Amino acid sequence: MKLLFYTAASNGAAWVDALSRAMPETSIGTWPDDTTTAADYALVWKPPPGLFAKLDSVKAIFNLGAGVDGLESMPRSLENVPLIRLVDAGMAEQMVEYVAYAVLRRYREFDVYAQSQREGAWQPRRRLDKSGFRVGILGIGSLGVVVAAALAAFGFPVDGWSRSRKQIPDVRSFAGTAELKEFLGRCHVLVCMLPLTAETRGILNRATLSQLSKGAYVVNVSRGALLVDEDLLALIDSGALSGATLDVFQEEPLPPSHAFWHHPCITVTPHVSAVTRIEESVAQIAAKIRRLEAGLPVSGVVDRARSY
């Protein structure tokens, strides 16, 4: 069996090493250096358009991450080739750490106390009512559902919004555009965990963010293009929103001149909320290839009509 591997990231050698150990029976060619024999499976992250011509005879394409928006330019001729994304593979645990930190930091007002400390002021504040501090998660899929459970375990009231209705203990499910307004109106913290698709691009805009509770806080860990940057800045500056923790941006790295860098109410991190862990991901992909070879179904197959 032959695998064709490509990543736009700088850790290609570590991937190839882990794949060789997990699947010693396979030969691994890296694009563009080795394209001599046709591959059975392709493993890619943000492939350049030139690579797509090599993929029409593979049995499946594995995306080395959860979000498949890096494959947006894939030609229609490949739409019948199964595209398989990572499902969790160690990312849910990281998302829990990141989002729980952001929510607890806002709820326990650590930024206000940091300011008091800078001023040398001993200023206890009245504890916020947790039962009224509702966290809403936009996108309650394989990562969102684990984050929701972790926040509920802290005692936060948690709502989730998705395309389809969910049954999740301690989480109220809102589904579809018809229920988005009601969902937003209840949120004191909005956590965005949606994939980037034609339907979700720009979904965090002036109209939607204005529906959040007064002084709400925004956490975006999905993709930068879901957020209209100027709308978020305007709403924070007007006091309608209290701030944001942002891990993803329309342009990455975030340009040095961008207003997010120096805004006192915005925390910026460099797309690290949940990084792909090579060992777990290789184990998941190897197990799926074995299932596919045995004619068995696998999870994480992207619905090409929905783009996630």
CB of 99 to ligand GLV, least distance (A): 14
Q: In this structure, what token pair is assigned to residue 123?
A: 């200023």
Place of tokens 């899929």: 141
Q: Which two tokens stand for residue 54?
A: 């090599």
d(CA 172, CA 154): 16
Q: Which is nearer to ligand GLV, 240 or 283 (by Cβ)? A: 283
Terminal alpha carbon distance of the chain? 28
DSSP single-letter state for residue 102: H
Residue at shortest CB range from ligand NAP: 141
- DSSP lists the bridge partners of residue 191 as 137, 219
Residues ≥6 apart with Cβ < 8 Å to 71: 44, 46, 47, 61, 63, 83
What is the pattern of x (binds ligand GLV, CB under 6 A) and - over residues 7-26? --------------------
Considering the rule CB under 6 A, would residue 300 count as an interface residue with ligand GLV? no
Q: Which of 163, 271, 277, 304 is catalytic?
A: 271
* Catalytic residue check, 223: yes
Q: Smallest distance from the beta carbon of 210 to ligand NAP, in angstroms?
A: 19
| Residue 142 binds ligand NAP (CB under 6 A) | yes
Regarding 141 and contact with ligand GLV (CB under 6 A), the answer is no
Residue 271 tokens, joined: 């797309």
Using CB under 6 A as the binding criterion, the count of chain residues that bind ligand GLV stands at 4
Q: 210 vs 119, 241, 277, CA distance in Å?
A: 32, 8, 36
* Annotated active-site residue in 106, 186, 188, 223: 223
Residues that bind ligand NAP (CB under 6 A): 66-67, 91, 139-144, 162-164, 193-197, 199-200, 221-223, 247-248, 271, 273-274, 308
Report the catalytic residues.
Answer: 223, 271
Residues that bind ligand GLV (CB under 6 A): 65-67, 276
